[in-house]
């Protein structure tokens, strides 16, 4: 190899990529010039949880509101419970009123805000048994179905914060469910992108994506009969993972019992790979599903997005909305996959 060829080869190694999300059209930067080895992400110092009493260990004694759902084991001890958030972001169960001012539109923040708590105060979802994970998805579905037809509800967001940097102010593992009167702009963007892809290609975009990832095997972390987990081609953050079902279904609430166990298995694998490979980093995951507003969304596919916190947004990200990742999704997937074989 000549000196020039060697120089070109080295330059190519540090050539950043602009990748486009196939659904939303958003761009991300894969900044290979500032690339890190996967192991380096595990050494990031994590913030410690606040040393405060755990209000979820005994919700009755800590003054939490009455359960709207509780699962018990054979001996009578509770294993999971759901109750209204003591400090809700939305006022419960009222019909929205307009609060517009001059040229600005506003409305009362009505809806429902609930907490889904697993019994163990320490073991995160990555360390639960599959049946315990399936119980969590049972609760998500049961509360979704209970709230989706309320007058003030057009969208239900289920999400989970793990770690202080990810917004978990209480260390005890818990998820949150917010049922709100509006559909978020990001979901609207995904719905529009799925519709436009169908009109252009006559195929469903999420099906095209998952079938390609399953065949290419470059970004897949784990796959079972009903779901696939992979690092998306246009990953917004390092080690981002999507979990997508193989059955075409826009609506999370229509998941079957068999699918819930498969989903619990693949989520446990994905979260454990992050836990082991990155040293239990903070992360968020959330369910993206079609709205419950009475309209039909046949070209969409519900899915889960997992986003570890490995970097902080700075000037470029804040000013452009374009995120920068310091590792290629292919390298991230290979590293995470290896964690499951150890």
pLDDT mean across residues, the chain: 91
The pLDDT value given to residue 81: 97
The answer to whether residues 231 and 221 touch, using CB atoms and an 8 Å cutoff, is: yes
Over residues 53-82, the pLDDT tens digits come to 899 999 888 888 899 999 999 888 999 999
- Model pLDDT, residue 118: 97
Q: What is the mean pLDDT of residues 215-223?
A: 98
Q: H/E element holding 18?
A: strand 17-20
Which spans in the chain are helix H? 3-13, 130-147, 185-201, 205-216, 257-278, 315-320, 329-340
From 247, 120, 99, select the one nearest 171 (Cα to Cα): 120
As a whole number, mean pLDDT of residues 157-185 equals 95
b (16+ CB within 10 A) / e for 221-259: bbbeebbbbbbbbbbbbbbbbbbbbbeebbbbbebeeeb
111 closest CA partner among 292, 302, 255, 295: 292
CA 29 to chain centroid: 20
| Percent of all residues in the chain with a pLDDT value above 70, rounded to a whole number | 92
Question: Exposure of 281 by Cβ count < 10 A (0-12 exposed, 13-18 middle, 19+ buried)?
Answer: buried
Task: Grade residue 2 by pLDDT with cuts at 50, 70 and 90.
Answer: low
Dihedral, 189, 271, 136, 86 alpha carbons, nearest 10: -70
Q: Is the CB of residue 56 less than 8 Å from the CB of residue 116?
A: no
Q: Which of 138, 152, 125 is nearest to 255 (CA)?
A: 138
Q: What's the CA gap between 184 and 186, in Å, rounded?
A: 5
Question: Which pair of structure tokens corresponds to residue 178?
Answer: 């917010």
CA distances to 111, 180, 230, 233 from 330, rounded to whole Å, are 40, 36, 9, 8
Q: Of 264, 306, 267, nearest to 284 (Cα)? A: 306
Question: Which class is 17-47+186-340 in CATH?
Answer: alpha beta
pLDDT at 209: 98
Per residue in 295-326, pLDDT (tens digit) is 999 999 999 999 999 888 788 888 888 888 88
Helix (H) or strand (E) holding 220: strand 220-223
Distance CA 83, CA 113 (A): 9
15-19 long-range Cβ contacts below 8 angstroms, 24+ apart: 17/328, 19/233, 19/234
CATH number of 69-180: 3.30.428.10
pLDDT confidence bin for 13, thresholds 50/70/90:
very low
Q: How much is the pTM?
A: 0.92
Q: In which residue ranges of the chain is CATH 3.30.428.10 found?
A: 17-47+186-340, 69-180
Highest-confidence range of 30-44, 90-104, 127-141, by mean pLDDT?
A: 127-141
Q: What is the DSSP letter of 109?
A: -
CA–CA dist 278, 280 (Å, integer): 6
Cα distance between residue 80 and residue 18, in whole Å: 43
Query: Tell me, what's the pLDDT at 93?
Result: 65
Token pair 């209480």 is found at 170
Given a contact cutoff of 8 angstroms between Cβ atoms, the answer to whether 98 and 106 are in contact is yes
**Under a CB-based contact definition with an 8 Å cutoff, are residues 253 and 218 in contact?**
no
Whole-number Å distance between alpha carbons of 95 and 10: 61
């Amino acid at each position: 190899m000549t000196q020039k060829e060697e120089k070109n080869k080295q330059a190519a190694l540090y050539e950043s990529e602009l990748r486009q999300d196939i659904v939303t059209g958003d761009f991300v930067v894969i900044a290979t010039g500032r690339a890190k080895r996967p192991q380096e992400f595990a050494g990031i110092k994590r913030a410690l949880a606040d040393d405060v009493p755990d209000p979820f260990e005994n919700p009755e004694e800590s003054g939490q509101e009455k359960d709207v759902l509780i699962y018990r084991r054979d001996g009578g001890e509770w294993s999971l419970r759901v109750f209204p958030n003591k400090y809700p972001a939305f006022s419960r169960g009222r019909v929205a009123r307009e609060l517009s001012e001059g040229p600005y539109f506003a409305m009362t923040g009505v809806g429902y805000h609930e907490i889904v708590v697993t019994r163990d105060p320490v073991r995160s979802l990555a360390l639960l048994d599959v049946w315990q994970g399936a119980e969590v998805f049972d609760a998500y579905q049961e509360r979704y179905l209970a709230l989706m037809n309320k007058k003030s509800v057009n969208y239900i967001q289920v999400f989970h914060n793990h770690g202080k940097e990810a917004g978990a102010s209480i260390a005890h593992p818990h998820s949150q469910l917010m049922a709100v009167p509006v559909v978020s702009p990001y979901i609207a963007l995904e719905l529009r992108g799925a519709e436009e892809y169908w009109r252009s290609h006559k195929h469903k975009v999420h099906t095209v994506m998952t079938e390609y990832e399953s065949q290419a095997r470059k970004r897949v972390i784990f796959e079972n009969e009903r779901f696939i987990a992979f690092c998306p081609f246009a990953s917004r953050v390092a080690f981002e993972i999507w979990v997508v079902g193989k059955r075409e279904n826009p609506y999370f609430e229509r998941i079957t019992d068999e699918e819930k166990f498969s989903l619990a298995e693949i989520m446990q694998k994905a979260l454990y790979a992050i836990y082991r490979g990155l040293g239990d980093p903070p992360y968020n995951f959330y369910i993206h599903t079609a709205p419950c507003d009475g309209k039909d969304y046949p070209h969409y596919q519900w899915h889960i997005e997992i986003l570890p916190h490995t970097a902080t947004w700075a000037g470029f990200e804040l000013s452009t909305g374009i995120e920068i990742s310091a590792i290629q999704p292919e390298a991230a997937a290979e590293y995470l996959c290896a964690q499951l074989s150890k």
